[in-house]
Structure formats: structure tokens, C-alpha cells
Amino acid sequence: RTVYVNGAYVPEEDAKISVFDRGFLFADGVYEVTSVLGGKLIDFEGHAKRLERSLSELDMPAPCTMDELLEIHRELVRANGIDEGLVYLQVTRGAADRDFAYPVDAAPSLVLFTQSKPGLAANPVAEKGISVISIEDQRWGRRDIKTVQLLYPSMGKMMAKAAGADDAWMVEDGAVTEGTSNNAYIVKGNTIVTRHLGNEILHGITRAAVLRMAQEAQMQVEERSFTLEEAATADEAFVTSASTFVMPVVSLDGAQIGTGKPGPVAARLREIYLEESLAKAI
Ligand code: PMP
């Protein structure tokens, strides 16, 4: 596999980052994951905009222009022959002598790699849906910044696995924030409910697109907090992310949601999302 590291396309075994890189020492870095369908990038512009916002919230310089980033994405997709899969991008503040204060003159590190995922769109898991457990949200308070500080979500995935479930929904002050690596939704009657934006959740690029498409399809959308009790008695539930698109959730803490099968709203949104974003892919 060819990867991109600080200006060079190299075989993955030759890629190198300093042990003093602040991404490694402080999780002082941000990332994006963009999916690839039919060899094209889904919503690159959304991801590039969120990256700029993450960088600016952390006073981190951009490693290059967003046009250059698009070129690097395309070149890696081409070089690795990716038809369906993902492009992972990471920017860190770079290498500097270890100090909590930001270095004044470090050059940011930029790394990109691809993951081939055949069957990403025609994912059989979406036909069955996934199970989630609820866990306490113990992450830091700036979840709107897409940092590489992912240990708690990783622990959450392991808690889910240990409980025989697929993923976890995190709960804070009695309300669901989001999934370990996705935004969370419930459906009550004709209304789709998902948490409002704020510092408590990541502003999902897929979330923005799906809510827009839902409104265009005359579905009702409420952006507000919801409790586990509401989720337990919902007609349907689902999650969204760049790598899973719209994924039905069919059980919560061992109890089935609705019929225990993927619901019509989630199925319809998955279809609309795939169709529209593929048509706009670049
Ligand atoms: N929330 C969290 C915590 C995430 O890690 C992700 C995926 N990175 C999302 C939501 C979904 O965001 P997106 O749709 O931009 O992939």
C-alpha cells in the first residue's frame, strides 16, 4: 500500500514519523475519514471544512491548502486502486521537544492512508441492524473537535464487545450524546430525533447530509436531547457515520427497539443517502 507522509508518497513500510511528534505524545492532532464509492470521494468538501474548523479551534496551522488535500486523496485512491473504502487523514502539530505548551515553530505532520472495504455500500450488516449498549460518556468536553484522542471510544467498543453487542451509545446527564464513532438517532412516529449540535458531540458530516435529505423528503426532524427511556420505546433507531452511512440499530441494552428489525425510515434514509452522495461524489 502506498501512504502519504509529509509531502511524499511511499510504501507503508517506509513511512516514518518522529517519536517526538505531538500526535504521538499528546494526542495533539486531528483527523478525518472520507469514504470512497466507485473510486470517488463522498462529501470531500464537508470533511475539508470540518478539518479547517478543528485546526482553527486548536490554533494549529493547516499543512497545505484544501485543494492540495483533495489531490492527495485522489492520488492515493488511484495508486491503491480503491473502488470502495476509506481515506484516513491526520494532521498533528508536528515534532517538538516535549512540552505541554504548543511549540512556536513546529511544522505540522500530515499523514494519509487508504483502507479498501469492498461491500461498504451493499453492507449485509445494514440488512440486519446492529445492537448497542449504553455506557456513561466519560470523554472530554470538546467533542466537537475531531481529535485523535480516541481511547474512551475504544474502551466503549470493548465494553460493547464484552456485553455481546456491536457498539455503545454514550449517556451524559440522562441524555444520549452519540455512539462511539457515530451520531445517534431515534424515530418516533414520523419524527426523527437526534441530539442538537454543541461541544458535546462531533458535528457529523453524514449527520448534516442525512438531516438535509430527510427534510427534503418531507420527514420531520427534531434536533434535541433524548433519553435512554425514549430510545427504548422508539419505533426505530439508527446511527450515521462516513464509514457506515446510515446503519439501523435494532436493540439497546439487550432489549429490542421497535420490531427488532431495521425500520423503514432508516432503510429509506440509507438508500437516499447512498444515491445522492454517490451522484455528487468527486
Ligand atoms: N461521532 C463520533 C464520536 C465519531 O467518531 C464520528 C465518526 N468519526 C461521528 C460522530 C460521525 O461523523 P461523520 O459522519 O463525519 O463520519
CA distance 269 to 101: 45
For ligand 1, say whether the CB of 207 is within 6 Å of any of its atoms. yes
CATH hierarchy code of domain 125-280:
3.20.10.10
> Given this structure, which CATH class describes domain 2-116?
alpha beta
Per-residue pLDDT tens for 31-85?
A: 999 999 999 999 999 999 999 999 999 999 999 999 999 999 999 999 999 999 9
Query: In the prediction, which pLDDT does 257 show?
Result: 98
Which ipTM was obtained for this model? 0.99
For ligand 1, say whether the CB of 242 is within 6 Å of any of its atoms. yes
Per-residue pLDDT tens for 152-178?
A: 999 999 999 999 999 999 999 999 999
Which three-class secondary structure state does DSSP give residue 72? Answer: helix
Residues catalogued as catalytic: 146
Query: In the prediction, which pLDDT does 240 show?
Result: 98
Query: In the prediction, which pLDDT does 174 show?
Result: 96
Cell readout for 153 is 471510544
For ligand 1, say whether the CB of 23 is within 6 Å of any of its atoms. no
Domain spans, the chain = 2-116, 125-280
Query: In the prediction, which pLDDT does 96 show?
Result: 97
Pick the atom of ligand 1 nearest to 32's CA. 8
For the chain, the C-alpha Rg in angstroms (whole number) is: 19
Global pTM value: 0.97
Q: What is the mean pLDDT of residues 127-134?
A: 98
> Which residue owns the Cα nearest ligand 1 atom 12?
204
Chain mean pLDDT for the chain: 98
Are 179 and 168 in contact, with CB atoms under 8 Å apart?
A: yes
pLDDT band of residue 15 (cuts 50, 70, 90) is very high
Query: In the prediction, which pLDDT does 268 show?
Result: 97
CA triple 187-212-68, angle to 5 deg: 130
Percentage of the chain modeled with pLDDT above 90? 99
